[in-house]
Chain A
Amino acid sequence: MQLNREALTRAYRQMKLIREFEERLHEEIQTGEIAGFTHLYSGQEAVAVGVCEHLTERDKIVSTHRGHGHCLAKGCDLEGMMKEIWGSQEGLCNGKGGSMHIADIDKGMMGANGIVGAGAPIAVGAAISNKIDGPDENGKLAVSIAFSGDGACNQGTTFEAMNLAVVTKAPAIFVFENNHYSEHTGVDYAVGTANDIASRAEAFGMKVWRADGTDFFAVYDTFREVLEYVRTPGNGPAAVEFDTERFFGHFEGDPQRYRGDGELDRLRAERDCLKIFRASVTGAKLLEDVDLDTIDTESLKAIENAVQASRAAPRPQPENVLDNVYISY
């Protein structure tokens, strides 16, 4: 299905916002103003956006430690996220969670997660809930999506979640983002089914798909099929593996000694989902460079505004430590 101009513009804007969000954080973190551990999503935008552009607020996602892209793509408020990362009282989680724990349940975003592999079982629980709620008037189920990395696919929790989803026929979708690294370790070493995660999901009895995660259209079109399948009552879960790249270190501050010579330059030149998108839509005369340039400018502006707002936003007070608990000691 050909995307119309509006949908293309929207997809590009979403990807660009994520990219600039992360590039700006990369800068800001070096000044020491932002506290904590931050894992940037730059390079993987086409996955989050290619998946989430298909979803409604009824659909749920569970994210990872590298969650900013998933959050933005699922509709979390950009400024609320930035403020959260800044640790402000006005952040999406009132400064309690920070980068690794951003959540917005009303938007169907059930949390980034600091524990690798923790997300998949939670997504299956939400998928079972979707099944209990039953199909909508069009006969389609809401789905729940677990984003997992190539590293997370080695956790027992991920295996258990896949099997549980299969035996309960839960409308869960396991989205594996294979960016070839888990921290400082290569996927060829850590994943016994060398560089192939989807085959694991298949072995659990699921239908699986694979696509190039740096090509928005490959992600988008593949995911439409996945979704069509999982939304149909009785089919149960599915998995999809996207081959993608991370442009920064594992966390901000990672010296990345595990990378090959010139690896990052090559990835930024050849495997950048934004460049690939631009080349593809301008080549096919679907959008003009000027349209995209305008979005670039607007995105930078939006990020700048969010940063300024975060700097000025009220800080939490010591007594706020005791908010959101049922005791006072």
Chain B
Amino acid sequence: MAKMMYREAIRNTIFQEMQRDERVVVLGEDVAGGMGTAGGPEAIGGIWSTSTGFYDAFGPNRVIDTPISESAIMGAAGGLALAGKRPVAEIMFADFIGVCMDQLWNQIAKFRYMFGGKSVCPAVIRMPVGAGYNAAAQHSQMISQFVTGMPGIKVVMPTTPEDACGLLRQAIRDDDPVVFLEHKFLYAMSGEVNDDPDFCIPFGHARLARAGQDVTIVASGMMVRYAETAADDLAQDGIGCDVIDLRTTSPLDEEAILDSVEVTGRLVVVDEAPPRCSLATDISALVAQKAFASLKAPIEMVTPPHTPVPFARELESAYLPSPAKVAAAVRKTLEYR
């Protein structure tokens, strides 16, 4: 075990996979940084410090610093993957996926199925998601709802450094395209990480972050942290919560959710995406469909409103879920008669 930050877990895992497998290549804007400048390559090492030292170690063939061209980055990741490489592409902010949606949605996601299973597309597309930095409407969004809704794509949302490591290694070794959503707020969080160089976490297996009998809270990414804080606070009042960290939203660990709700009879879903057609609604529908008889109270969803992400501090905090909002939702399910 080794203690490290979430961003270090990501950086180290890619680095190790590049050492282990020559087919692994990295591409994205400023992934080296400083190209064509007096400071020279590696003047930045990735704006999120998730590719520091890569250029020096692996050179320009395998560390491709791209111009600002998201469609070309996404498409090239698809092409590299079809041609037998294992690209790990970075979209600097998840919001910029808007620029290159076609290459993901109509191309990468569909190759395997559309070509009758005659190809694989082992591309990993990493991108930071989420609000909390007052970065406003085009640099703060959660996009899990779009990518989770796309057949053909696996979607990962790690919460802990250890999960970031194990899930990212799995993503790189996986033959299907994976969208890997890293919450900006988690980058600086530290935790113990399994340092076995083959440590992988299989997709589709949720993690039980807190155990309790009264209410089930389902969350992913940063929202798990809020759910944990809420659960710890509620525990002081004798309220026990299961906190289910989905880890991957596609494939979805339906069993973990249903098993828990069968015990608790109460469900709170926490999601950073707007409230319509999202993970929150998806999981609510799943439970309403498959665990209806277990429910003792209406399902509660803790989400932002159906608006873009606002800029001002006061507005952004009103917009975002929080531990207090999660706790209030838990109490509401318990108060239902």
**Which chain A residues have a beta carbon within 8 Å of chain B's beta carbons?**
35-37, 87-89, 93, 95-98, 100-101, 113-118, 151-152, 154-157, 181-191, 257-261, 263, 315-322, 325, 327, 329
List 9 additional contacts besides A96-B310, A115-B96, A258-B37; criterion CB under 8 Å: A98-B136, A115-B99, A185-B29, A185-B30, A186-B37, A258-B40, A260-B39, A315-B314, A322-B307
For B138, list chain A residues within 8 Å (CB): 100-101, 113-115
Stretch of B64-72, B81-89, B172-180, B225-233 with 4 or more beta carbons under 8 angstroms from chain A:
B64-72
Known contacts A114-B95, A185-B35, A259-B37: A35-B306 contact under CB 8 Å: no
Decide if B135 touches A36 in the complex (CB within 8 Å).
yes
Whole-angstrom distance between the Cβ of B46 and the nearest chain A Cβ:
10
Known contacts A185-B33, A190-B67: A257-B39 contact under CB 8 Å: yes
Partner of B307, one of A87, A98, A101, A325: A325
- The residue of chain A having its C-beta at the shortest distance from the C-beta of B38 within the complex is A260
**Chain B 24-61 interface mask (CB, 8 Å, partner A; 1/0):** 00000110011111111001100100000000000000
A-B contact pairs, 26 of them (CB 8 A): A35-B133, A35-B312, A35-B313, A95-B310, A114-B138, A114-B139, A115-B96, A116-B68, A185-B67, A186-B35, A186-B36, A186-B37, A187-B36, A190-B67, A257-B34, A258-B37, A258-B44, A263-B38, A315-B314, A316-B310, A317-B314, A318-B315, A322-B305, A322-B307, A325-B306, A325-B307
* SS of B interface (majority): loop
For B318, list chain A residues within 8 Å (CB): 318-319, 321
For A156, list chain B residues within 8 Å (CB): 69, 71-72
**Chain B 88-102 interface mask (CB, 8 Å, partner A; 1/0):** 000000011011000
- The residue of chain A having its C-beta at the shortest distance from the C-beta of B304 within the complex is A321
Known contacts A258-B33, A260-B38, A329-B275: A316-B314 contact under CB 8 Å: yes
* SS of A interface (majority): loop
B134 at the interface (CB under 8 A from A): yes
For B139, list chain A residues within 8 Å (CB): 37, 100, 114
For A36, list chain B residues within 8 Å (CB): 133-136, 311
B137 at the interface (CB under 8 A from A): yes
Whole-angstrom distance between the Cβ of B133 and the nearest chain A Cβ:
7
Decide if B67 touches A191 in the complex (CB within 8 Å).
yes
- The residue of chain B having its C-beta at the shortest distance from the C-beta of A315 within the complex is B314
Partner of B38, one of A87, A101, A183, A259: A259
Q: How far is the CA of A154 from the CA of B66 in the complex (A)?
A: 10
- The residue of chain A having its C-beta at the shortest distance from the C-beta of B313 within the complex is A35
Decide if A98 touches B134 in the complex (CB within 8 Å).
yes
For A117, list chain B residues within 8 Å (CB): 68, 99
Decide if B312 touches A258 in the complex (CB within 8 Å).
no
B97-131 residues at the A interface, CB under 8 angstroms: 98-99
- The residue of chain A having its C-beta at the shortest distance from the C-beta of B303 within the complex is A329
B6 at the interface (CB under 8 A from A): no
For B203, list chain A residues within 8 Å (CB): none
Q: How far is the CA of A316 from the CA of B69 in the complex (A)?
A: 36
For A187, list chain B residues within 8 Å (CB): 36
Decide if B98 touches A87 in the complex (CB within 8 Å).
no
Q: How far is the CA of A325 from the CA of B134 in the complex (A)?
A: 20
- Scoring B70, B133, B138, B311 by chain A CB atoms within 10 A of each residue's CB, the highest score goes to B311
Whole-angstrom distance between the Cβ of B129 and the nearest chain A Cβ:
15
Decide if A183 touches B136 in the complex (CB within 8 Å).
no
Partner of A320, one of B30, B275, B315: B315
- The residue of chain A having its C-beta at the shortest distance from the C-beta of B33 within the complex is A184
Whole-angstrom distance between the Cβ of B54 and the nearest chain A Cβ:
15
